[in-house]
Structure 1
């Protein structure tokens, strides 16, 4: 269990990638398998992962994530994993209506966590992006207009050293038996 905590401690959002190093296909396959195996409400697995590895396309997708000074680094990432929301199963949809929760978004967040932790375990950096031109990326990659692109995750070898993690004190975010 301590190994997992060390993995979590070392994982960070990397915004500088080594443009001379490609991500090995076997490492990428293990990362994608971790995403595929992520838990989901009622085992709905409401996701599709569109993996962009082509250098020219990756650059274009990266440019489509930048705007207003955001995510300028993404064009240098050798891999972009596009996290697309797919239809949930009926059990998940009904449960979500009853409980007023959209379970697929929670499920996609869990899958994204699996992707970033698996990348870290492979010695790779990652960054989860929520700011992007959805229409442009759909056009570039053939994602149907009816689908929702929820996240873009960059993957590559980090070109910078690890940073000190800044987190709130435990007492501010954890309590037992009452708020």
Structure 2
């Protein structure tokens, strides 16, 4: 671990953010792991927790292979915009093409939550505007959030119970 990474591990003023990850092209699990590795390499980003992998039916554009989805909790000293820029850089490095809305992709990284921050900037809306409609986001988000914020995780579980479409989300592999 380098000196800069050691500094972030000792800081108490880290913002906790939740990032949704998905892939449905190629070696899906490897794309997710590589995106996590790229985020973790940044001196101002620390992985705090990871959900299991979930295989999910596609939403929107359904004529495509199933996705692997997961959520990572990260601690960061970056602003939401700078964290989002790092996420976009990882997508680009891993060959993400934006050709079909909700279409196939090597990797997709979504900033779901950044602390309690809310914003309506067209480039970055927080919380993520569609996360409450998507079981494939909520299921892994709740799983990883229980360690950092059990009260918020409980509120999301209540919402998830009322949500339809959960049958398209199945546990694929637990994280080690």
Which interval holds the TM-score relative to the shorter structure? 0.3 to 0.5
Task: Compare the two structures and name the one with the higher strand fraction.
Answer: 2
Q: What is the TM-score with the length of structure 1 in the denominator?
A: 0.35
Higher relative contact order by CA 8 Å / sep ≥ 6: 1 or 2? 1
